[in-house]
Chains A and B, each alone.
Chain A
Amino acid sequence: MTGIHETSDRRWVSAARSNRVRSLWFAGLIVVLALLLALSVTIGTRNVDWSDISAALGGMQDTIGQAAIALRIPRTVLALLAGASLGLAGAIMQGVTRNPLADPGILGVNMGASLAVVTGVAWFGMSSAHAYIWTAIAGAGCTAVFVYTIGSLGRGGATPLKLALAGAATSIALASLAIAVVLPRGDIAGGIQSWQIGGVGGATYGRIVPVMPFLAAGFAISLLSARKLNSLALGDELAAGLGERVAVARAIASLGAILLCGATTAVCGPISFLGLVVPHLCRTLIGVDYRWLLPFSAVGGAGLLLGADILGRIVARPGEIDVGIVTALIGAPFFIWIVRRQRVREL
């Protein structure tokens, strides 16, 4: 198994480390994440001193400082969950499509979820959290199937650039439709518009708790499909030869990713490029084995989103930059860099 793996992807062989090194990296990442968690609670528009922070963590909300901290905690939790979901979903999508450009944002999945929610709110007066989540997941699923179908039309099947182009174009088209759906509803347009930027500000436990079961299911399915993704990485023929049912493996892993993307988008709005960057960074650390890559991507994604959120709060003080904007500014150059590395056939 490992022998085949090494010949199949020589580039990552040098990066493959022994399990001990990987464990050390994982521990390191966890420490960084813990640090970011602490920063996320302490840094914000208002400077709060340590006594207030510790009091607020104990549940007190008597002073303004303590109240500010009490607002930052759910926000931090949401950033943690959303980042982990998107990082994990990105890794899964890259594995399922065997495409280094795959990302829930670039493939249009987040925008699909977003359009579904927007339509539900504007046309059907949807308001319950569960309705949001189900619609978002349905939208994400339909878009994923749609984009994959379009991307694999024609010669050569779903090549990375074709798939990325199909996803990006679908995303642009859906965004344009979303504006058309929102605009006549002046009463809700402002709120939806700011939701569509993608952010974790203003999070409350009331919004986080309903998505927890969906995220939990998504995490479970995703993490359990690591072995399948490893087989898929060998190519369809080899995977089938090893006894993997290729289509089923793809469907199951995708389901996990779609649950994660849909549920995250329902709460945060569409956040792009995070799922692209994180798995690539993790691969350079620990190699291509999905049994390691998936948990790393989850932790890395959580860290990156938290970091982006903190950055957004520091850079524009006293205001703040929504995390969706920060990730786009960090992720898009990365995307361009990967596109440049691809060898392309003129369409």
Chain B
Amino acid sequence: MTELAPTVDLIINSRRRRAGRHAVLLALLIAVVLALFGITLSVGQSFTPPVEVIRVLIGQDLPGTSFTVAQLRLPRAVLSILAGMCFGLGGVAFQVMLRNPLASPDIIGITSGAGAAAVFAIVVLSMTGPMVSILAVAAGLCVAVLVYGLSFRNGIAGTRLILVGIGMSAMLQSVIAYILSSAPAWSLQEAMRWLTGSVNGAQLSQALPLFLALVLFGGLLLSRTRDLEALQLGDDTAAALGVRVATTRMLIIVCAVGMIATATAVTGPIAFVAFLAGPIAARIVRGNGSLLLPSALVGAILVLAGDYVGQLLLPSRYPVGVVTGALGAPYLIFLIVRVNRTGGSL
């Protein structure tokens, strides 16, 4: 026993160091999110001094400034953060569970399923509010189960699941295209929201379902971090470690789809955020602890920064999905090259 002591100390120390690094990284990411939040609130078409922003936020009424900050910028920023976190968390849960960065919900058709349901609910059934979200979540779950079931054959093979998902996605995309093109009032702005995602015209009331989804599903998911990481080692190993594989997997799918679909119902499928957040977080964390929270924060950063860039820094105004889409596309291609060359994981 005494001979083991130095080794045990070593392990404890290294664990502590890793936990410490993880905490520092999380703090840094949160700081970046807050900084971007602050910039979004104070620097727009016009500049609002931070002091005035804070005065508006604590409830004072300043003529003009109140409208710009509280009505225009705040909902946009809040929605960006919440949607980004939902996409990031849901995306990384899938990527980790299926051990493949390509298995993100926006590639295997879950986002398209939620989007198709939301478009159908809004354009054809003229629904609004929570009903749209519920329908989107239900559709997302159906697609997830369908893709999972269809690719199940003597066990799941990642490639098969991704290709089945891509096929499913192609069908659902064409449904979206049809509904949009046959809608009575075809508005490009609205259509773009459902093709690439945007936070244009955000209202604070829209943030509520996102917040609920994040607390409920996100909380549940984070409480299962350990099981999720065990699943990453392979089903057999996870089962040997005492994880109930089937139950955990079901729970993770429900949680991830819940977040992704709710976010999609509100902002549209913001392109590639779910796909990008995990791998970027993996580069930042470098094996020092869990990927879940960092991915959620990276998702928030991507959407906030993407929206800011799209609104202000480019020659014409783009919805956020176009910016993240242009960012994600080369990465997707790079990833395919790497996966094919080496056989890849996160």
Contact = CB atoms under 8 A, between A and B. Distances in A.
A153 B334 CA distance: 12
A169 B170 contact: no
Nearest to A185: B316
B306 to A, nearest CB: 12
Given A170-B333, A176-B271, A183-B322, A154 B341 contact: yes
B145 to A, nearest CB: 14
A57 interface: no
Interface in A135-194: 150-151, 153-155, 161-162, 164-166, 168-170, 172-174, 176-177, 179-180, 183-184, 186, 189-190, 193-194
A168 B166 contact: yes
A335 to B, nearest CB: 4
Interface stretch (B52-60, B149-157, B213-221, B254-262): B149-157
Contacts of A325: 174-175, 177-178
A60 B174 CA distance: 37
Interface string A307-347: 00000000010010110110011001101100110101111
Contacts of B102: 165, 169
A329 B171 contact: yes
B116 to A, nearest CB: 12
Contacts of A179: 192, 195-196, 321-322, 325
A272 interface: yes
A150 B318 CA distance: 31
A154 B343 contact: yes
B344 A332 contact: no
B326 A170 contact: no
A194 B163 contact: no
Contacts of B321: 179
B162 A165 contact: yes
B336 A340 contact: no
Contacts of B157: 344-346
B328 interface: yes
B191 A193 contact: yes
Contact of B340 (A154, A177, A272): A154
B315 interface: yes
A328 B160 contact: no
Contact of A162 (B196, B340, B344): B340
A176 B167 contact: no
A273 interface: yes
Interface string B305-330: 00000000001101101110110111
A197 interface: yes
Nearest to B155: A346
A155 B159 CA distance: 15
Interface in B135-184: 150-151, 153, 157-160, 162-164, 166-168, 170-171, 173-175, 177-178, 181-182
Given A169-B332, A176-B271, A184 B315 contact: yes
Nearest to A173: B329
Interface of A: 101, 150-151, 153-155, 161-162, 164-166, 168-170, 172-174, 176-177, 179-180, 183-184, 186, 189-190, 193-194, 197, 272-273, 316, 319, 321-322, 324-325, 328-329, 332-333, 335-336, 339-340, 342, 344-347
The 5 closest A-B pairs by CB, nearest first: A173-B329, A176-B325, A328-B174, A184-B316, A332-B171
11 contacts: A150-B337, A154-B343, A172-B332, A176-B326, A179-B325, A180-B326, A316-B182, A325-B178, A332-B167, A333-B167, A347-B339
Given A169-B332, A340-B153, 4 more contacts: A161-B159, A173-B332, A325-B175, A347-B344
